[in-house]
Structure 1
C-alpha cells in the first residue's frame, strides 16, 4: 500500500480542480457516505434529512470565505471538478467538526460514538532526540475502509509556501509540513459548543501557509471554529505546542523538556467543561492509548525516526486493528522532522506497512541564531 504523491501546482482553483478531477468517483462516494453519517442519530443524537445537513454546512461557508478566500476557491473548484456542491465538499473534509456543529444545534445530550476516537499523536523535544532535532509522530485512525482514500499531496501553490500533506481524497489537508518547517498534526475531540464556523482541515491548510509558529497558533486561537480538535504544532527550530481547541475556548501546553502525547479526550479543565459526553469504552480506549504512548516514550532515552515508528506500530494500544465488533483501525501514520524538512508516511496499518520518506518541496533549513 505504497504512497505515490499527488503533485499540485498553480493557483488555488487549479489545485482544487486537479484534485477533484483525479479522484472524482471516490470523492462522490465519500460525500454520500459522510452526508448520511452526519445526519444519523448515531453521530449527532437525532436523524436529519440530507438537505438539513447540507443547509448547516452551507451556513458555515461565510466563515470559511472570511477566513481564507483562496482556500475556499480551492474547495469550490474541487467540488465543481467532482460534480458536487461545495457544501458536500465541506462535509467530506470537515465531517467531525460538522458533527459538533450539528450536535450543538440538535444533539440533546447523546454521547459521542466510538467512531469519534481517532489518532494518537506525539511531540518529542530535541533534548530527547538522538540528533537534537525535535520530532512529531501520529497515527490516523478511522473506519478501516478509509485506508483506500488516503493520499499524500506535494503542492507548490502560487500564493503560499510549498507543502507536503497527508490527507484523504477530497480533504484539503490533515497532517503536514511546509517549506519553512511548520508542522501540524491533529486528534479529533468532541464538543457540545459546536457552531457555524471554520472546519479543522481549513485550519490545517492555513497553518501550512504560515512561516512562524506564532502565526500558525493564531490560525487556531483567532478563528471561529466549527468544532473541536486537538492540534500539535512544531517548527524547524524545535519549538512546539499542543492546543486543545474547542469552539468557545482553548488550552495550550508548550513543548518543553519532556515529550507530549495526546489522544481523543480533553486534558484541560477548561476544555473538559464543553466536551461532549463520551461512552465508557471510548474514554477507556483514549486513556489506554495515552498512557501507553507515554510509557513507550519513556522507554527510549533518545528518540529517532525508527523509535517513533516502533511506537506507531505498537499493537498493545497505539496501532488500532479492527475487530468483529469495531471496524475502526489505524489507516495511516506520519512522522515529521521539521529541521530536515522531511515527512515519513504510510497508508494502512503501521504494524504491516513501511514508512516512505518525502522531502518537502522548496525546503530550506532554518538559520540557527
Structure 2
C-alpha cells in the first residue's frame, strides 16, 4: 500500500499484481532462469504478438524471424550482456531465439509499419527530493497499452555476478520496462513517434526499443545511462524519464531519443513530466501530431497537479499516486480507461501503474486502471518469486 493518508480511502487488492520472478548469476544464467520460470507466459505473449505482427504489420512468421535475427546481431554488437540474457531466456523458455528478439522489437515491427496507428499512451512524472516530504526522489508512470497484455506481465528481479540488482516490470519475454536498480537509478518510459522511425532502406539496423531500455536500466549512474541512450543505434523513438537518488534531492533528466538524435529536458521547480509527444527542439517531425489525443495535455496536467500540491506542502507518494488516478478527459485521461469506440487494434487503457522511491530502493505496483487498485510495494533487496 501507499503509506500516506490520502490514499487510504481507495479499495485495496491483496493479490500480487504480476508474478514475481527473481534470478541471479551471469547474464546467461539470469536469462535461462527467467525463461524456465516464465516459460508458459513467454510462449503465450509471443503467440499474441505473432498474431499482431501478422494482422497489423502483415509479417509472416518467417519474416518475423528474419527481422529478429537482424535485431539479434545488432544487440550482440551493442549490448552483449543484454543479448546474452535474451539468448538464455529463449533457451530456458524453449522458444526460438530470433522470435524473442522480434518480441523485444515489437515497437519497431508494429509501429514502423503503421506509425499513425495509435495515439500512444503512458504518463510519467518525477519529483526531486527537494520538493518531497521525506527528501526522497520519487518517480512513476502509468503504462498504457492493449488490455490483453495485462496477464502476460512479470515483475523481474535480477542479481548479476557482481551483485548489481535490477527490479523492473516487464512483458514476459522482455527484460525491462519501468524499474530501478541498486545504484538508485530509476527509469520510466513513454512511446514517441518521429518521421525517422522504421527500418527504412539504407538505414543501419538498430538495437530494439526494449533492449536499449534494459541497457539503460543496467547503468550504474545517470551519466552512464545517458551515454547508453545517446550512443545506441536505434530505429524507434523512445522517451526515457531518468532519475538517480543522491545528495540535494537527487537528479532528474528526460531524454527524447529518436533515430539519429536526442533531445533533453530538465526539471522545473523540482518537477518533470512527460507523455507521448516531443517537447524538446529536435529537427524531426513528431508523428504523434497526426492524430492528436490526450498526450497533448497529459504531461502538462500532471505537472500542474504536482506543482499545486508542492506549493501547498511537500509532495509524498500519495500525491504522486493521486496524479496517476486523474480522470480529466476520461476515458483518454492520465488514468486511461477502455474506449469501446476505438477500433480493437487501437484500444488501450492503463494496464499497470508504477511508483518508484529511489532513495528507499522500492517499487510500488498497481494493476490498472489504478483508480481501482492499491499499490503493492516491493523492496529491491527483498523480492522472492
Q: Which moved more, 1:191-200 or 1:129-138?
A: 191-200
Which residue does 2:116 correspond to in 1? 112
Q: Distance in 2 between matches of 1:76 and 1:153?
A: 17
Name stretches of at least 5 consecutive residues in structure 2 with no aligned partner.
1-14, 200-204
Q: How does 1:44-193 map to 2 (within 5 A)?
A: 44=57, 47-100=58-111, 103=112, 107=113, 111-114=115-118, 117-159=120-162, 161-193=164-196
Q: How many residues get paired?
A: 348
Partner of 2:227: 218
State how far apart, in whole Å, the 1-side matches of 2:102 and 2:289 are.
22
| Distance (whole Å) between structure 1 residues aligned to residue 110 and residue 69 of structure 2 | 14
2: CA distance, partners of 1:99 / 1:229: 14
Matching residue of 1:342: 362
Aligned counterpart, 1:209: 218
Q: Is the 8 A contact 1:206 1:219 kept in 2?
A: yes
Give the match for residue 366 of structure 1: none
TM score, norm. by length of structure 1: 0.88
Shift, 1:362, TM fit = 8.4
User: Does the CA contact (< 8 Å) of 1:57 and 1:98 recur in 2?
Assistant: no
TM-score by length of 2: 0.84
Gaps of 5+ in 1: 364-369
Residue 225 of structure 2 corresponds to residue 233 of structure 1: no
1:331–1:264 distance in 2 versus 1, CA, 3 Å: same
The corresponding residue for 1:325 is 341
The 3-state SS of whatever aligns with 1:351 is helix
Q: For residues 305 and 277 of structure 1, do their structure 2 counterparts lie closer, same or farther at Cα, with a shift above 3 Å needed?
A: closer
Alignment of 1:283-294 (within 5 A): 283-294=292-303
Specify the SS of the correspondent of 2:282. helix
Structure 1 equivalent of residue 29 of structure 2: 14
Q: Alpha-carbon deviation of 1:277?
A: 5.6
CA distance in 1, matches of 2:239, 2:62: 29
What is the SS of the residue equivalent to 2:239? strand
Aligned to 1:259: 271
Segment drifting more, 285-294 vs 61-70? 285-294
* 1:10 to 1:111, Cα distance in 2 relative to 1, 3 A: closer
Cα 1:6–1:277 shift into 2, 3 Å: closer
Q: Is residue 2:29 matched to residue 1:26?
A: no
Q: Contact 1:156–1:361 at 8 Å: present in 2 too?
A: no
Deviating more after overlay: 229-238 vs 12-21: 12-21
Matches of 1:176 and 1:91, distance apart in 2: 22
Distance 1:160 1:95, change over 3 A: farther
1:209 CA displacement: 2.3
Structure-2 residue corresponding to 1:270? 282
Report if aligned partners of 2:22, 2:157 keep a CA contact under 8 Å in 1: yes
Is the partner of 1:250 in helix, strand or coil? Answer: strand
Q: Secondary structure at the match of 1:60?
A: helix
Pairwise CA RMSD of aligned residues?
2.2
Conserved 8 A contact 1:309-1:335: yes
Matched, 1:359 2:374: no
Post-superposition shift, 1:351?
0.7
Render the CA deviation track for 1:1-27: whole Å, top value 9, x for unaligned: 424521111122222122222222332
- Identify the residue that residue 11 of structure 2 maps to in structure 1: none
